[in-house]
Amino acid sequence: EPLVRTFTPLYFAVEPRDVLAARGAAVLLNCSAHGESPPRIEWRKDGTLLNLESDDRRQLLPDGSLLISAVVHSKHNKPDEGFYQCVATVDSLGTIVSRTAKLTVAGK
Q: pLDDT tens across 55-65, in order?
A: 999 999 999 99
10-106 CATH:
2.60.40.10
Q: pLDDT tens across 7-52, in order?
A: 668 999 999 999 999 999 999 999 999 998 899 999 999 999 999 9
- Of 23, 93, 31, 94, the C-alpha closest to 67 is 31
pLDDT score recorded for residue 92: 83
Query: For the stretch 52-79, what's the b/e string if a residue is b when 16 or more beta carbons lie within 10 angstroms of its beta carbon?
Result: eeeeeebebeeebbbebeebebeeeeee
pLDDT score recorded for residue 12: 96
Strand (E) or helix (H) holding 32: strand 32-35
Residue 2 has pLDDT above 90, yes or no: no
Domain ranges of the chain: 10-106
53's torsion region: left (phi>0), alpha (psi -120 to 50) or beta?
A: alpha
Question: Do the bridges between strand 19-21 and strand 101-105 make them parallel or antiparallel, or are there none, so unpaired?
Answer: parallel
